[in-house]
């Protein structure tokens, strides 16, 4: 990840500096599992340049 400049690789390098190797490994596995689940559940293709928009919180009643 150190040699690559894509968004995911930069995130991995920054995370590893903050939390260490083992926690980064778990976080990357979690991120990949979520990406895979979203692809399978929605039947979409993976787009590495996609940036999700944060959902707006629901208004209290």
Helix ranges, 1-61 (H): 7-19, 21-42
Instruction: Provide the 8-state DSSP code for 60.
Output: P
pLDDT reported for residue 55 = 67
pLDDT reported for residue 47 = 78
pLDDT reported for residue 30 = 96
pLDDT reported for residue 1 = 61
Are the C-beta atoms of 2 and 13 separated by less than 8 Å? Answer: yes
Q: What pLDDT tens digit does each residue of the chain (61 aa) get? A: 668 788 889 999 999 999 999 999 999 999 999 989 988 998 888 777 777 776 666 666 5
Q: Specify the pTM.
A: 0.66
Dihedral (CA of 8, 9, 14, 20) sign? positive
Rounded distance between C-alpha atoms, residue 13 and residue 24, angstroms: 9
Rounded distance between C-alpha atoms, residue 29 and residue 19, angstroms: 15
């Amino acid at each position: 990840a150190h040699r690559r400049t894509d968004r995911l690789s930069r995130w991995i390098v920054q995370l590893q500096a903050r939390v260490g190797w083992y926690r980064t490994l778990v976080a990357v596995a979690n991120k990949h599992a979520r990406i895979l689940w979203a692809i399978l559940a929605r039947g979409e293709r993976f787009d590495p340049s996609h940036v999700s928009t944060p959902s707006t919180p629901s208004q209290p009643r």
